[in-house]
Structure 1
Amino acid sequence: MTLMGFQLLILALTAGFAFAAPTTVRQTHPTITLDDATVIGQPNGTVVRYLGLPFAQPPVGDLRLRLPKPVSPFNGTINATTFGNQCIQQIFPAVDLPSDVPAPASEYLTAFVTPADVPQSEDCLNLNVIVPADAHSKSKLPVAVWIYGGGFEIGSNAIEPGEVVVARSIEIGHPIVYVAINYRLSAFGFLGGSEVKEAGVANLGLHDQREAFRWVQKYISAFGGDPEKVMIWGESAGAISVALHMQANAGDPQGLFRAAFMESGSPTPSGTVDNPYLQSTYDQIVADSGCSNATDTLACLRTVSTDVLLAAVDNTPSFLSFQQINTPWFPRADGALISNPPEQQLLSGPTANIPIVSGNDQDEGSAFSFPTLNLTTDEEFLDYVHSNYYRNTSREAVEKILDLYPSDPALGSPYNTGDNFTYSPQYKRMSAFQGDFIEQAPRRLFVQHLAEKQPVYAYLSNFHKVDGIGAAHGTELADVFGGGPMGDYLIRFAATLNPNGDGAFEWPRYTNSSPLLLTFNDVQPELNLTMDTYRAEGMAYLTKLSLADPI
Structure 2
Amino acid sequence: MWRLVALLACLAPWVCRSAPIVRLDDATVIGTSDGVSTSYLGIPFAEAPVGKLRLQLPQPISRYTGVINATTFGNQCIQQTINLPTIPANLPPAISEFIGPMAIFPDVPQSEDCLNINVIVPAGTRPGAKLPVAAWIFGGGYQIGSNAVRPGAVVVNRSVEIGQPVIFVSMNYRLSAFGFLGGREIQEAGLGNLGLQDQREALRWIQKHIAAFGGDPTKVTIWGESAGSQSVLFQMVTNGGNTEGLFRAGWMESGSALPTRDFSKLQPTFDLIVSETGCASARDRLACLRGVPAEAIAAAMDKTPTFLSFQALNTPWMPHADGVFLKDGPQQLVLKESIADIPFVIGSCEDEGTLFSLASLNLTTAQEVAAYLKSNYFPGASDATIAHLLELYPANPAAGSPFGTGDAFAFTPEFKRLAAFSGDFIFQATRRFLLDQRANKQVARSFLSERNKVTGLGATHTTELVNVFGGGDMTDFLVRFVNTLDPNGGPQIHWPAYTPQSPQLLAFVEGNTPLTVIPDTFREEAMTFVTKLSQEQPL
> 1:544 pairs with 519, 532, 535, which one?
532
Q: Name 1:528's counterpart in structure 2.
A: 516
SS state at 1:448 partner: helix
Find the counterpart in structure 2 of residue 4 from structure 1: none
Following TM superposition, by how much is the alpha carbon of 1:25 offset from its aligned partner in structure 2, in angstroms?
Answer: 4.8
The one-letter code of the counterpart of 2:505 is L
Q: Which residue of 2 aligns with 1:11?
A: none
Query: What is the rounded CA distance, in whole Å, between the counterparts of 2:353 and 2:104 in structure 1?
Result: 19
CA 1:25–1:423 in 2, change beyond 3 Å: closer, same or farther?
farther
2:475 alignment partner, one of 474, 487, 507: 487
Spell out the pairing of 1:4-403 with structure 2 (5 A cutoff).
25=15, 27-275=17-265, 278-403=266-391
- The one-letter code of the counterpart of 1:498 is D
SS of residue in 1 equivalent to 2:18: coil
Structure 2 counterpart SS, 1:248 = helix
CA distance in 1, matches of 2:381, 2:47: 44
User: Is the counterpart of residue 452 in structure 1 residue 440 in structure 2?
Assistant: yes
Q: Report the TM-score when normalising by structure 2.
A: 0.96
CA shift digits 1:395-437 (9 cap, x unpaired): 2212211100011111111111112111211111111010000
Q: Give the deviation of 1:76 after TM superposition.
A: 1.1
Q: CA deviation at 1:285?
A: 1.1
Q: Is the Cα contact below 8 Å between 1:57 and 1:72 reproduced in 2?
A: no
Contact 1:41 1:49 in 2 (8 A): yes
Matches within 5 A, 1:453-468: 453-468=441-456
Q: Following the alignment from structure 1 to structure 2, what is the Cα–Cα distance between the partners of residues 253 and 478?
A: 30
C-alpha separation between the residues in 1 aligned to 2:91 and 2:65? 54
Give the AA of the match of 2:238: A
Match of 1:240, as an amino acid?
A: Q
Cα distance in 1, alignment partners of residues 409 and 144 from structure 2: 27
Give, as a single letter, the amino acid of the residue that structure 1 aligns with 2:337: G
**Secondary structure of 1:446's match?**
helix
Question: Hey, what's the Cα distance between the residues in 2 that align with 1:43 and 1:480?
Answer: 22
Kindly indicate whether the alpha-carbon contact (under 8 Å) linking 1:161 and 1:481 is maintained by their aligned counterparts in 2.
no
Runs of at least 5 residues in structure 1 that lack an aligned partner in the other structure = 1-23
Query: 1:410 maps to which residue?
Result: 398
Measure the CA separation in 2 of the matches of 1:392 and 1:493: 42
More relative contact order in 1 or in 2 (CA 8 Å, sep 6+)?
Answer: 1
Q: Note if 1:497 corresponds to 2:485.
A: yes
The one-letter code of the counterpart of 1:350 is S
Contact 1:85/1:121, CA 8 A, preserved across alignment: yes
What displacement does 1:62 show?
Answer: 0.9
Q: 2:361 and 2:149 mapped to 1: Cα distance? A: 30
> Deviation per CA, 1:152-210, whole angstroms, max 9, x where unpaired?
00001011130000000000000001000000000100001011100110000000000
SS at structure 1 position matched to 2:458: coil
102-111 vs 448-457, which moves further: 102-111
Mapped contact 1:319–1:325 kept (Cα < 8 A)? yes
Instruction: Check whether the contact 1:113–1:154 (CA below 8 A) recurs between aligned residues.
Output: no
Superposed displacement of residue 132, structure 1? 0.7
Q: CA deviation at 1:327?
A: 0.0
SS at match of 1:27: helix
Task: Find the partner of 1:429 among 410, 417, 422.
Answer: 417
Give the letter aligned to residue 388 of structure 1.
N
Structure-1-length-normalised TM-score: 0.94
Structure 2 distance, partners of 1:27, 1:410, is 64
Once the two structures are superposed, residues 330-368 of structure 1 have per-residue CA deviations (whole angstroms, 9 ceiling, x without a partner) of 111011111111111111232100000000000000111
Contact 1:31 1:38 in 2 (8 A): yes
Structure 1 Cα separation of the partners of residues 338 and 27 of structure 2: 40
Question: What displacement does 1:503 show?
Answer: 2.5
Aligned positions, number? 526
1-structure distance, mates of 2:512, 2:356? 29
Contact 1:251 1:351 in 2 (8 A): yes
Question: What is the SS of the residue equivalent to 1:529?
Answer: strand
Unmatched runs of 5 consecutive residues or more in structure 2: 1-13
Shift of 1:102: 1.8
Q: Distance in 1 between matches of 2:90 and 2:35?
A: 44
Structure 1 residue 26: Cα displacement: 5.1
1:25-82 CA distances to partner (integer Å, 9 max, x unpaired)? 5531111110011111110121100000000000001111110000131111111000
Contact 2:95 2:456 in 1 (8 A): yes
Judge conservation of contact 1:190–1:203 (CA < 8 Å) in 2.
Answer: yes
Counterpart code for 2:483: A
The whole-number CA distance in structure 1 between the counterparts of 2:436 and 2:404 is 26
CA–CA distance in 2 between the matches of 1:344 and 1:320? 27
Q: CA deviation at 1:224?
A: 0.3
Q: Which amino acid aligns with 2:373?
A: V
User: 1:86 & 1:272 partners in 2: Cα distance?
Assistant: 30
1:260 and 1:355 in contact (8 A); partners too: yes
**Which secondary structure state, in structure 1, belongs to the residue aligned with residue 501 of structure 2?**
coil
Can you list the C-alpha shifts for 1:350-399, whole angstroms capped at 9, x where unaligned? 21000000000000001111111111100000000000001122222122
| Residues 395 and 413 in structure 2, CA contact (< 8 A), matched pair in contact too | yes
